[in-house]
Amino acid sequence: MSEQVPILQVKKLVKTYGDKPVLNGIDLVVEKGKVIAILGPSGCGKSTFLRCLNGLEEVQGGDILLESESLISKSTDWRNVRQRIGMVFQSYDLFPNLTVMENILLSPLKVQKRPRQEVEAQARELLERVGLADRANDYPRQLSGGQKQRIAIVRALCINPDIMLFDEVTASLDPEMVREVLDVIAQLADQGMTMLIVTHEMNFARLVADEVIFMDKGNIHEHAPAERFFSDPQTERAQQFLNILQF
Amino acid sequence: MTFDWQYMIDVLPHYKTALWLTLKLAFIGIVFAILVGLICSIIQYFKIKALSNIVQVYLEIARNTPLLIQLFFLYYGLPKVGITLSGEVCGIIGLTFLGGSYMAEVFRSGMEAVAKSQVETGKAIGLSNLQLMRYVIIPQAFSYSVPGFSANCIFLLKETSVFSGIAILELTNTTKNLMGIFYKTNEALFMLVVGYLIILLPLTIFLTWLERRVRHAEFGN
């Protein structure tokens, strides 16, 4: 049982914008059910890294394996991959022309072609869980930022992904709304969802993550169990980073 | 100045016929223009190779030549190479040719106004390019495009007056003919103006309503 293939493996991933290197050979193994927080200063490549995993960026080298299937090939069907790797963005982009429910149902109905009844029941259950059951028929403009972000998470979950990527999902929220969104993610962690979380919320990362990777200038400087990373960072760069955050 | 009301009542049937014809040609022309515009704008938006160059050439030609000249080409030019089309068909083709380019520009700018993050989110939930267009880009792009779209509809409707140049008996041409026969210039021109207002006022009211209706979608996100 313990010899399972890791759900996601990244090998020597290289990404450049023209001559400018963004990721210099990233290696990472993600076991099923693990929560990995990706920390680092702005511009270190952590968002780009997540975007590569969802096929939103072209990569110049290395490999990404989802279970044992390589995603770095011309024939990769990203539409299928994206049903297995869900992603939520900083800018909580609900589609403003659709209601909350329509936003959530769009992909399950049109891409996955699942029966409406089943998906709707699942959507209602998820909405209930994030405390927004009564907003199903509202338009995004009627919701607060935190509510929109929770809906965006539900929308991604309703596709039943194996892995969730969170790209600074609380970065553009009012402080008061950060909590409600983080609670939802923490709930997911409890349920055993495999997640990669780019965040600046250190306390949250410490609490929720199993492992932390610390990135700077396109490299992983440190990869450690979360508790050890925060209490006893090994690299100088990580120590420096954590010190700045502590008043 | 007094109007000869009896005369106006007598020629009313001519105006009625002309008004219907104007409306019919404009409607068909605008519908085709919307289709052409939509197709061109999607080609431009996705920068589809080769096709997007052809579209660019079409846009430049259509927007930089007067409708009257386009119509002359269709109506007087094409028969020289053995293609004879009726005036009405020429009118519809001309209006589509001109209108398509205007619509394409309006739709394209609307599509480009849709936030990139919306497109990425759509991709991230697995939508295909076509689904992305259908459910995300076009509805939002349309809401951005409505003011320009409305202006185009009104503009194209008024452009039907140019059809008088190729012997189509729409409102303007009918008026010219009646003036030539009866010399009742004031009456004829008055009825012409009223004729256009009867078409354009409801259209404008409808378009204003439409604008308010679809714009609400874009607020607050």
| pLDDT classification of B221: cutoffs 50, 70, 90 | very low
Residue B111 · residue B137 · CB < 8 Å: yes
Tens of pLDDT, residue by residue over B124-156, are 999 998 899 999 998 889 888 999 999 999 999
For residue B2, tell me if it sits in a domain. no
Total structural domains within chain B = 1
pLDDT at B220: 42
Residues in Cβ contact with B194 at an 8 Å cutoff, skipping those fewer than 6 apart: none
**Nearest by CB: A94 against B128, B219, B221:** B221
Q: Is A220 left (phi over 0), alpha (psi -120 to 50) or beta?
A: beta
- The fraction of chain B above a pLDDT of 70, given in percent, is 97
Is A89 within 8 Å of B127 when comparing Cβ atoms? no
Question: B24-59 pLDDT, tens per residue?
Answer: 999 999 999 999 999 999 999 988 888 999 999 999
Q: Which residues of A touch B220 (CB under 8 A)?
A: 96, 139-142
Q: What backbone torsions phi and psi does residue A234 show, to the nearest 5 degrees?
A: -90, -35
Q: Which residues contact A59 (CB under 8 A, 6 or more apart)?
A: A13, A14, A15, A23, A52, A72
pLDDT per residue over A66-79, tens digit each?
988 888 888 888 88
B121 and A112 within 8 Å at the Cβ level: the answer is no
Domain that holds residue B94: 13-217
Q: Judge: B128–A82 Cβ closer than 8 Å, yes or no.
A: no
Q: A98 to chain B: nearest residue by CA?
A: B217
B130 assigned to some structural domain: yes
Interface probe with B: pick from A85, A88, A95, A114, most Cβ of B within 10 Å: A95
Kindly list the domain boundaries of chain A, sorted by start residue: 8-245
pLDDT in tens, A39-97: 998 888 899 999 999 999 989 989 999 988 888 888 888 888 999 999 999 887 899 98
Interatomic CA distance for residues B122 and A112, integer angstroms: 14
Do B125 and A86 lie within an 8 Å CB cutoff?
A: yes
Question: Distance of CA B31 to CAs A228, B35, B92, B100, Å?
Answer: 66, 6, 10, 9
Residue-wise pLDDT tens digits, B168-218: 889 999 999 999 999 999 999 999 999 999 999 999 999 999 888 877 655
Residues of chain B with a CB closer than 8 angstroms to some CB in chain A: 115, 117-118, 120-128, 131, 135-136, 139-140, 143, 216-221
How confident is the model at residue B154, as a pLDDT? 95
Alpha helix ranges (H) inside chain B: 5-45, 51-63, 67-72, 87-113, 116-124, 129-131, 138-159, 171-182, 185-215
State the pLDDT at residue A89.
92
Q: What is the pLDDT of residue A247?
A: 61
Domain annotation covers residue B3: no
Distance from the Cα of A152 to chain B's closest Cα (Å) equals: 9
To the nearest whole number, what is the mean pLDDT of chain A? 90
CATH number, domain containing residue B187: 1.10.3720.10
CA B196 to chain centre: 15
Given an 8 Å threshold on Cβ–Cβ distance, is B131 in contact with A110?
A: yes
Q: Looking at domain A8-245, which CATH architecture does it have?
A: 3-Layer(aba) Sandwich (3.40)
Does the complex come out with an ipTM higher than 0.90? no
